Every structure is written in structure tokens, then in C-alpha cells.
């Protein structure tokens, strides 16, 4: 699914990613953990194609195709989805209109028929019910005035509707209470199948009680310094990062 | 302005005055007083604080010619069918170059007691009401209008009555020569608990540097509720000068929406007097300018009584070398406790050469009030564009969606569903055209 080879990126003169190597196969969930400033969010942004990063070395293949040359919208249409750490408020843009445009862009690219207003509403309402989002959400402008938890659930709703092959969740758990965390995790678990993969970036082990990872990676100073299975997350919870950093 | 210019203009104006006085002899005292006032003041200049950002030179440097006849003979119904809102079920009062067109106007059966007519047909009944609300304003353009107005709308909704359908005031300019000027005058009286929706459209059919100077007085008595939508969509050569003077009674509701899309120079003076408690007054506007257009909204909201809300929302989208001006003065008098006044002015600048002057001005003499204001001037939000692109929309679609959202904030405040929909489409098609060109 995803193959990252020796990826190096900088912002202005500062090197943030210093050679990332990561392989994600179909059907897998990978967790990326690490202290603040280690490069987790930069990795997510670079995968989604955010401007302002200078890629100095390395390659990123999605199903065998190099995506680093693609625009953010082309990556999205190819099946990359970034759940934003800080979803952007867009006053004046109606949520229904936005989401239907996005869904139809992606469907068009996949050669699927675009959804008309009625079928779209039917589908989105069913998904919203699963995420315990009130229907009045659809009438509100995108993320405008939403609480932190509502914004994160809205990200998961978009992910569900777009059905990406690779979802990157950037600290989707931050600021969520335990109920919201469960709803968000359920949303991720529902889309999980043998043809897609998820990368979950988090500070805390508690999300990984709900979204069980196949692999856990520790990112520190722009490199993955340790990989393991889900027990690594428990070790980090107990011992922190210091024991790894000393050895790095 | 040099003194020579004043004399030349005064000659122009004196000659024009001789022609105008044959319209409505009972208006003569008002006209004469207006002319005298104007002769003393002359046109405002940018030395005056209220006109600091807006020069009237495009208006004052062209000859002054009153359009004593209308170009009605040139028009037929087909032209009306082309304009915005014509497909809705409205009553229409049509004015061509400031003159009422009986032939093109259409008034259905409004409820008994409701008056929807042209002002000139009622001069003898209402002569003492004209100028009641605008009379104290020192703006020389009002003096000029007092002297030269030809006609306009007269709408009177008696107590506990409602307009059975929206009234559409259509002001068409057929001017073909630079300097041709039309002066219109509207009077709206909504008595206690009266309701209605009024649309005001200003459209030019020619491409001359012609001017429109319109003064509207609206009196909203206790408990009345008026929605007033103004669309200024004149040709890019024309000059549009307007002032609205409103006096609101107890618990009155007034929503005034201004869409300033056309004209080389447009200026809207809005003067709202919140005279009694419990009023809700909204001024909501959108300006979209390109080329060398200038759109100016200049408002004074006077909170003279407690427990009143006033909201001003103005968004602007500016291309090329165009300019936007927003001046929002909120005056809270000592007795106006529990005032809730909000003001925002947001501007999207889509060219390096476009400029905006925004000037909020809060003067608060009461201590228990809530007053907020905010102004932004900037480009499209880059984070928002990335967010939309990360969901599969291309850059252009993302920009359009953000601009649509930006205009939607204003359009969505129109309460009348069909009118809101039509304005949404009109604004949207302009944006799409505009954005394709850029």
C-alpha cells in the first residue's frame, strides 16, 4: 500500500524529517508515536502534500506510484486522506455542499457515478448516525463554531464518506473525552478492511486500546528509532521515551 | 475645488432648477431651501472627515444635466423581464431616469388601506412628510436631491397591515450622455405592527457617466417589521449616490441589505435612528468591485433608547485597482443602556492593487452595553484552501467555494427565501465569471 523510502524534508533551513523508512501493507494499522517536535505532524503533512515543505530526498509510493509529485487534490483522489489535527473552520461554506463536492470529485476520479443530492443525503445521514452526529450539522458551515470533539468527529465523517485507501490520522484523539474517543475509534474500525490501511499518529496509548495497531513506531528527531508490535505502546506508556532516546 | 468650478456648477444648477420646478408646485419651498443649502455648501470634498476616502470628482467634473424627460419610449416590457427578481411574484414600481412609468409598473390588489404608488401622484397629500427624516442631515447631496428630485416610491402600510407581496422598486437609467443626472426620492411609512418586503434595484441600460442620486426616508413605527433589499447593479461608468434615513419605533425590526455590484463610484449613506426600546436593526451588505470601481458604505447607527440591538455585517471582494470603503459609526447615547451593537467588515483582496479603507467608530456614553467591532482585510485563507484540496477539490474549485462562502455569509441573512436564492445565484454567477477572467 504505502512505501516510504529515506524521506527527508525541511521547512526553510530546518531539517525536520531526516530519513524516514516505513512500509505499510493492505489491512494494516500502524501507530506512530513520539515526543513533541519529533516530526509526526510534518510526516502527515508531507504525505498529504501540504505546501511549504522542501522534500530534499527520498520517495513515497502509494500502490507502486510515486505520489510526491502529485498535488494534494490528486493524492486525495488517489485515496490518501489526512484527518487534520486542527480541522479548518470555513465560515459560509455549507457542510453538505462541501462534503458532496468532495465525495463526487473522488468518485469521478475512480470512475464511479456521482451521487445526486438525494442519494448523497441518504448515505451521509446513515453515516452520521453511526458517528452520533446530529443532522443539523449538515446545515452548518464547515467546522465553524464546532467544539473540538465535533470537529474531530467531522473529520471521521469525511473519512467515512471518502472511503480512502490510506487514512492518516494526525492526533485525532487529542482533546477528546472518553466517549468521543470511542466514537472516533469505532469510525476508524468500521472502514478498516483488507484493501486499505491506516496510520494513526498519537501521543497517547489510550487511543490504541480502541484502535489496535499491528505495528507501533517511535519517531524521534526525524527518524523512526524503534518499531514493534502493540506492546511497545504499553512500554512507552509506562516508561516514557527517555530509555529509547538514550539509545538512539 | 477651485472657486471657479463652484460658480460654473452653480450656473449649471441654476438653469436646471428652472426646469425642475414645473414638477410638483407644492414641492417648491422644499426645492428652494435645498437649492439654497446646496449653493452655500457646494459638493463635499475629501477634506471633510465623512468624505476622506471617497472623492466625488468623477461626479463634480462632469456637466450637470437634469433628465427632465424619461427615456420611456425606448423601453418595452421585454427589458423588465431581463432584470433580477422579475420572475418573482412582486408588485413593480418602475422609474426611468427618475420618472414614473405607469405603463411598465404593475400593482396588484394590495390590502385595503395599503398604498403602493409613485410619490409625485401624492405630492399634495404628503408634502409635509418629505424631508422629515433627512432634513437635519447636512450632506449636500440631500440638499441637491431636495432641489431636484422628480419622483420615487411612496409606500404606506397602515397599522396591523402587511404587504401582500414584495414591492420591487426598479430604477432604470437610460442616460446616454455623461453628466445626465436623475434624482429619486422614496418615502416608506410602516405604521405600528405593519409588515413588508421591499426590493430596490438600480440598473443602467446605457454606458454613460451618468449619475443617480436617491434619497429614501423610512419611518418604522412600533412593532413594525420591514425587510429591504437593495441591489445596485449599474454600469461601470455610472455614479450612484444614495442615502437612507430611518427612524425606528418601539420593538421595530428593520433588515436592510445592500448589494453594491455596479457603478464607477457608489456611496451609500445609512442613517439609522433607534428611537425607542427593543429595536432590532440589521445592516447587511456585500460589495464586489473590479477595474477602478469604488464602493463606499457610510453608516451612523444612533442608539437613543435602551435594549436595542444593531448589527452591521459588510463583506467585500475586490479585484484589480478597485476600492472599498466602510465607515461604521455607532453612537450609544447615555440613556441607551443594554445596547447590543455588533459590527464586522471583512474584505477579500484579490489583487495587489486593490485597497480598502475601513473605519469603525464607537462612541459610547452608556455604561451597561455590549459593543463589538472587527475588521479584516486579506487574501483567501491558505489553510482553508489546503483543507479543501486535501479533500479532492482542485485549487480553483477550492477558491470558488471559499468565495461563495464569503458572499454566502451575507446573502444567507436575507429572510425572503426566493429573493435570497436569486441573489445567491446572481452573486455566484458574477464570481464565476470574474474568477475565470483572473
- Rounded to the nearest angstrom, the gap between the alpha carbon of residue A5 and the centroid of all alpha carbons in its chain is 19
User: In B, which residues are within 8 Å of A81 by CB distance?
Assistant: 390
Q: Do A102 and B384 touch (CB under 8 A)?
A: no
B10: confidence class by pLDDT, cuts 50, 70, 90: low
Q: Quick one: A86 and A64 in the same domain?
A: no
**Per-residue model confidence (pLDDT) at position B5:** 46
Whether B343 is in a domain gets the answer: no
Of B214, B241, B276, the last residue of a domain is B276
Of A164, A193, A226, the last residue of a domain is A164
Give the 3-state secondary structure of residue B152. coil
Transcribe B91-148 into DSSP letters. Answer: EEEEEETTEE-TTT-B---PPTT-EEEEGGGGHHHHTTTTTTTTTT---HHHHHHHHH
Give the 3-state secondary structure of residue A1. coil
Transcribe A8-56 into DSSP letters. Answer: EEEETTEEEEEEEEEEE-TT-EEEEE--TTSSHHHHHHHHHT-TT-EEE
Q: Does A72 reach chain B within 8 Å, measured CB to CB?
A: yes
For residue A70, the 8-state DSSP code is: S
User: In A, which residues are within 8 Å of B408 by CB distance?
Assistant: 92-94
**Per-residue model confidence (pLDDT) at position B252:** 98
**Per-residue model confidence (pLDDT) at position B56:** 92
For the segment B335-354, the average pLDDT, to the nearest whole number, is 96
Q: Which residues pair with B172 in a beta bridge?
A: B96, B203
Structural contact between residues B96 and B71, judged by C-beta atoms closer than 8 angstroms: yes
The per-residue pLDDT of chain A, averaged, comes to 92
pLDDT above 50 for A108: yes
Whether B366 is in a domain gets the answer: no
**Per-residue model confidence (pLDDT) at position A242:** 85
A104: confidence class by pLDDT, cuts 50, 70, 90: very high
The C-alpha cell that represents B161 in the structure block: 397591515
B438: confidence class by pLDDT, cuts 50, 70, 90: very low
Q: Quick one: B15 and B130 in the same domain?
A: yes
User: In B, which residues are within 8 Å of A72 by CB distance?
Assistant: 386, 389-390
pLDDT above 80 for B172: yes
> What are phi and psi for residue B307, nearest 5 degrees?
60, 35
Q: Quick one: A159 and A229 in the same domain?
A: no
- For B221-273, the pLDDT digits (tens) are 999 999 999 999 999 999 999 999 999 999 999 999 999 999 999 999 999 99
- For A182-207, the pLDDT digits (tens) are 988 999 999 999 999 999 999 888 88
Nearest residue on chain A to B409, alpha-carbon basis = A92
For the segment B343-358, the average pLDDT, to the nearest whole number, is 96
Whether A36 is in a domain gets the answer: yes
Q: Do A93 and B402 touch (CB under 8 A)?
A: yes
Closest to A72 (Cβ–Cβ): which among B381, B389, B405? B389
Strands (E), A95-245: 141-142, 166-170, 197-201, 215-220, 223-228
Q: Which of B126, B140, B123, B134 is nearest to B36 (CA)?
A: B140
> What are phi and psi for residue A84, nearest 5 degrees?
-70, 140
Structural contact between residues A190 and A159, judged by C-beta atoms closer than 8 angstroms: no
Rounded to the nearest 10 degrees, the angle between the axes of helix B28-41 and helix B140-148 is: 150
Q: Quick one: A94 and A65 in the same domain?
A: no
Q: Quick one: B38 and B182 in the same domain?
A: yes
Residue count (chain A): 248
Domains identified in chain B, total number: 2
Whole-angstrom distance, CA of residue B63 vs CA of residue A57: 69
Whether B104 is in a domain gets the answer: yes
The C-alpha cell that represents B82 in the structure block: 431581463
Q: Which of A92, A104, A96, A81 is nearest to A128 (CA)?
A: A96
**Per-residue model confidence (pLDDT) at position B7:** 46
- For B132-142, the pLDDT digits (tens) are 999 989 999 99
User: B6-20, B31-45, B186-200: which has the minimum mean pLDDT?
Assistant: B6-20
**Per-residue model confidence (pLDDT) at position B8:** 56
For residue B88, the 8-state DSSP code is: S
Of A140, A164, A188, the last residue of a domain is A164
Whether A191 is in a domain gets the answer: no
pLDDT above 80 for B72: no
Q: Quick one: A66 and A86 in the same domain?
A: no
Closest to B401 (Cβ–Cβ): which among A51, A84, A98? A98
CA-to-CA separations, B272 to B244, B253, B309, in angstroms, rounded = 8, 12, 12
Q: Which of A186, A174, A27, A156 is nearest to A81 (CA)?
A: A156
Whole-angstrom distance, CA of residue B202 vs CA of residue B200: 7
Q: Quick one: B271 and B406 in the same domain?
A: no
**Per-residue model confidence (pLDDT) at position A92:** 85
Nearest residue on chain A to B380, alpha-carbon basis = A90
What does the H/E/C string look like for A201-241?
ECCCHHHHHCCCCCEEEEEECCEEEEEECHHHHHHHHHHCC
Q: Quick one: A29 and A89 in the same domain?
A: no
Residues near A139 by Cβ (< 8 Å), separated by ≥ 6? A94, A95, A96
Whether A157 is in a domain gets the answer: yes
- For B48-61, the pLDDT digits (tens) are 999 999 999 888 88
Q: Is A60 exposed, middle or buried (0-12, 13-18, 19+ CB in 10 A)?
A: buried
CA-to-CA separations, B179 to B61, B215, B322, in angstroms, rounded = 9, 19, 22
Q: Quick one: A99 and A62 in the same domain?
A: no
Whole-angstrom distance, CA of residue B388 vs CA of residue A73: 8
The C-alpha cell that represents B358 in the structure block: 475601513
Q: Quick one: A61 and A88 in the same domain?
A: no
User: In B, which residues are within 8 Å of A48 by CB distance?
Assistant: 390
Q: Which of B94, B88, B93 is nearest to B72 (CA)?
A: B94
Whether A31 is in a domain gets the answer: yes
Structural contact between residues A208 and A32, judged by C-beta atoms closer than 8 angstroms: no
Q: Does A91 reach chain B within 8 Å, measured CB to CB?
A: yes
Structural contact between residues B241 and B267, judged by C-beta atoms closer than 8 angstroms: yes
Of A164, A196, A216, the last residue of a domain is A164
**Count of CB pairs separated by less than 8 Å, A with B:** 80
Q: Which residues pair with B186 in a beta bridge?
A: B216
Whole-angstrom distance, CA of residue B107 vs CA of residue B291: 38
Whether A189 is in a domain gets the answer: no
Whether B209 is in a domain gets the answer: yes
- For A24-41, the pLDDT digits (tens) are 999 999 999 998 889 999
Question: What is the number of other CB atoms lying within 10 angstroms of the CB of residue B103?
Answer: 12
- For B77-112, the pLDDT digits (tens) are 888 888 899 889 999 999 999 999 999 999 988 999
> What are phi and psi for residue B385, nearest 5 degrees?
-65, -45
Helix (H) or strand (E) holding B183: strand B180-190
For the segment A48-55, the average pLDDT, to the nearest whole number, is 94
Q: Do B409 and A91 touch (CB under 8 A)?
A: yes
Of B276, B295, B310, the last residue of a domain is B276
Q: Quick one: A64 and A89 in the same domain?
A: no
Whole-angstrom distance, CA of residue B382 vs CA of residue B327: 28
Whether A33 is in a domain gets the answer: yes
Whether A196 is in a domain gets the answer: no
pLDDT above 70 for B436: no
Domain of B387?
383-438
Of B218, B244, B276, the last residue of a domain is B276
Give the 3-state secondary structure of residue B238. coil
Structural contact between residues B396 and B435, judged by C-beta atoms closer than 8 angstroms: yes
Higher-pLDDT residue of B296, B108:
B296
Q: Do A92 and B394 touch (CB under 8 A)?
A: no
CATH code, domain carrying A8: 3.40.50.300
CA-to-CA separations, B134 to B105, B214, B244, B267, in angstroms, rounded = 27, 12, 8, 16
Domain of A62?
1-41+57-70+204-248
Structural contact between residues B65 and B167, judged by C-beta atoms closer than 8 angstroms: no
Transcribe B355-404 into DSSP letters. Answer: EEEEEEEEEE--SS-EEEEEEEEE---HHHHHHHHTTT--HHHHHHHHHH
Domains identified in chain A, total number: 2
User: A202-216, B182-196, B274-288, B340-354: which has the minimum mean pLDDT?
Assistant: A202-216
Give the 3-state secondary structure of residue A100. helix
pLDDT above 70 for B71: no
Whole-angstrom distance, CA of residue A215 vs CA of residue A204: 15
> What are phi and psi for residue A63, nearest 5 degrees?
45, 45
**Per-residue model confidence (pLDDT) at position B4:** 38
Whole-angstrom distance, CA of residue A92 vs CA of residue A73: 22
Q: Quick one: A94 and A142 in the same domain?
A: yes
User: In B, which residues are within 8 Å of A109 by CB distance?
Assistant: 392
For residue B176, the 8-state DSSP code is: -
Q: Quick one: B255 and B400 in the same domain?
A: no
Structural contact between residues B234 and B265, judged by C-beta atoms closer than 8 angstroms: no
User: If interface means Cβ-Cβ distance under 8 Å, which residues of chain B face chain A?
Assistant: 381-384, 386-395, 397, 401-402, 404-409, 412
Nearest residue on chain A to B315, alpha-carbon basis = A92
As a whole-number percent, the residues of chain B with pLDDT over 90 amount to 77
A80: confidence class by pLDDT, cuts 50, 70, 90: very high
Whether A178 is in a domain gets the answer: no
**Per-residue model confidence (pLDDT) at position A248:** 63
- For B190-200, the pLDDT digits (tens) are 999 999 999 99
Structural contact between residues B333 and B302, judged by C-beta atoms closer than 8 angstroms: yes
To test the contact with chain A by mutation, choose from B314, B381, B388, B391 the residue with the greatest count of A C-beta atoms within 10 A, namely B391
**Per-residue model confidence (pLDDT) at position B437:** 43
Amino acid at each position: 500500500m504505502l512505501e516510504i523510502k529515506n524521506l527527508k524534508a525541511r521547512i526553510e533551513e530546518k531539517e525536520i524529517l531526516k530519513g524516514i523508512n516505513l512500509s505499510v501493507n493492505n489491512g494494516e494499522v500502524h501507530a506512530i508515536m513520539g515526543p513533541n517536535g519529533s516530526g509526526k505532524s510534518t510526516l502527515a503533512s508531507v504525505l498529504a502534500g501540504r505546501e511549504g515543505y522542501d522534500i530534499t530526498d527520498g520517495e513515497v509510493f502509494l500502490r507502486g506510484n510515486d505520489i510526491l509529485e502529485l498535488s494534494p487534490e490528486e493524492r486525495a483522489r488517489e485515496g490518501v486522506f489526512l484527518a487534520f489535527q486542527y480541522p479548518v473552520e470555513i465560515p459560509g461554506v455549507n457542510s453538505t455542499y462541501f462534503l458532496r463536492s468532495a465525495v463526487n470529485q473522488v468518485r469521478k476520479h475512480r470512475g464511479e457515478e456521482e451521487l445526486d443530492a438525494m442519494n448523497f443525503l441518504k448515505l451521509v445521514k446513515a453515516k452520521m448516525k453511526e458517528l452520533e452526529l446530529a443532522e443539523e450539522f449538515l446545515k452548518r458551515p464547515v467546522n465553524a463554531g464546532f467544539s473540538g470533539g465535533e470537529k474531530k468527529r467531522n473529520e471521521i465523517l469525511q473519512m467515512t464518506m471518502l472511503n480512502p485507501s490510506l487514512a492518516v490520522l494526525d492526533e485525532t484523539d487529542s482533546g477528546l473525552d472518553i466517549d468521543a474517543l470511542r466514537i472516533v475509534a469505532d469510525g476508524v474500525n468500521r472502514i478498516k478492511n483488507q484493501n486499505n490501511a491506516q496510520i494513526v499518529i498519537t501521543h497517547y496509548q489510550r487511543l490504541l486500546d480502541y484502535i489496535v495497531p499491528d505495528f507501533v513506531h517511535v519517531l524521534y528527531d526525524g527518524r523512526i528509532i524503534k518499531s514493534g508490535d502493540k506492546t511497545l505502546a504499553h512500554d512507552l506508556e509506562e516508561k516514557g521515551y527517555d530509555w529509547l532516546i538514550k539509545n538512539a | 475645488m477651485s472657486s471657479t468650478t463652484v460658480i460654473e456648477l452653480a450656473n449649471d444648477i441654476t438653469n436646471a432648477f428652472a426646469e425642475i420646478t414645473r414638477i410638483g408646485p407644492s414641492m417648491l419651498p422644499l426645492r428652494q431651501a435645498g437649492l439654497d443649502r446646496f449653493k452655500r455648501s457646494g459638493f463635499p470634498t475629501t477634506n471633510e472627515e465623512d468624505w476622506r476616502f471617497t472623492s466625488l470628482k468623477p461626479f463634480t467634473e462632469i456637466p450637470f444635466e437634469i433628465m427632465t424627460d424619461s427615456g420611456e419610449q425606448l423601453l418595452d416590457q421585454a427589458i423588465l423581464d431581463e432584470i433580477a427578481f422579475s420572475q418573482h411574484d412582486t408588485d413593480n414600481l418602475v422609474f426611468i431616469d427618475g420618472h414614473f412609468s405607469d405603463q411598465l409598473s404593475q400593482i396588484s390588489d394590495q390590502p385595503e388601506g395599503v398604498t403602493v404608488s409613485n410619490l409625485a401622484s401624492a405630492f399634495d397629500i404628503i408634502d409635509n412628510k418629505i424631508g422629515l427624516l433627512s432634513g437635519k442631515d447636512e450632506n449636500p447631496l440631500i440638499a441637491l436631491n431636495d432641489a431636484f428630485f422628480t419622483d420615487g416610491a411612496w409606500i404606506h402600510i397602515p397599522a396591523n397591515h402587511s404587504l401582500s407581496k414584495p414591492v420591487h422598486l426598479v430604477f432604470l437609467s437610460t442616460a446616454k450622455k455623461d453628466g445626465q443626472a436623475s434624482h429619486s426620492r422614496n418615502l416608506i411609512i410602516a405604521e405600528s405592527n405593519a409588515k413588508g418586503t421591499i426590493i430596490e434595484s438600480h440598473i443602467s441600460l446605457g454606458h454613460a457617466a451618468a449619475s443617480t442620486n436617491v434619497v429614501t426616508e423610512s419611518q418604522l413605527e412600533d412593532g413594525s417589521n420591514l425587510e429591504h433589499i437593495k441591489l445596485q447593479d449599474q454600469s461601470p461608468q455610472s455614479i450612484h449616490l444614495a442615502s437612507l434615513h430611518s427612524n425606528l419605533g418601539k420593538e421595530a425590526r428593520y433588515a436592510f441589505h445592500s448589494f453594491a455590484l455596479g457603478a464607477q463610484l457608489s456611496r451609500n449613506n445609512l442613517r439609522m435612528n433607534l428611537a425607542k426600546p427593543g429595536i432590532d436593526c440589521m445592516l447587511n451588505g456585500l460589495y464586489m468591485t473590479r477595474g477602478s470601481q469604488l464602493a463606499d458604505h457610510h453608516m451612523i447607527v444612533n442608539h437613543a433608547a435602551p435594549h436595542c440591538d444593531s448589527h452591521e455585517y459588510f463583506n467585500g471582494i475586490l479585484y484589480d485597482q478597485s476600492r472599498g470603503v466602510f465607515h461604521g459609526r455607532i453612537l450609544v447615547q447615555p440613556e441607551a443602556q443594554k445596547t447590543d451593537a455588533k459590527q464586522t467588515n471583512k474584505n477579500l483582496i484579490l489583487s495587489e492593487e486593490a485597497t480598502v479603507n475601513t473605519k469603525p467608530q464607537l462612541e459610547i456614553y452608556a455604561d451597561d452595553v455590549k459593543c463589538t467591532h472587527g475588521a479584516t482585510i486579506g487574501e483567501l485563507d491558505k489553510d482553508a484552501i489546503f483543507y479543501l484540496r486535501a479533500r479532492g477539490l482542485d485549487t480553483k474549485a477550492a477558491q470558488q467555494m471559499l468565495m461563495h462562502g464569503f458572499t454566502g455569509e451575507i446573502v444567507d441573512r436575507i429572510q425572503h427565501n426566493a429573493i435570497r436564492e436569486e441573489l445567491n445565484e446572481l452573486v455566484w454567477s458574477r464570481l464565476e465569471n470574474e474568477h475565470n477572467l483572473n
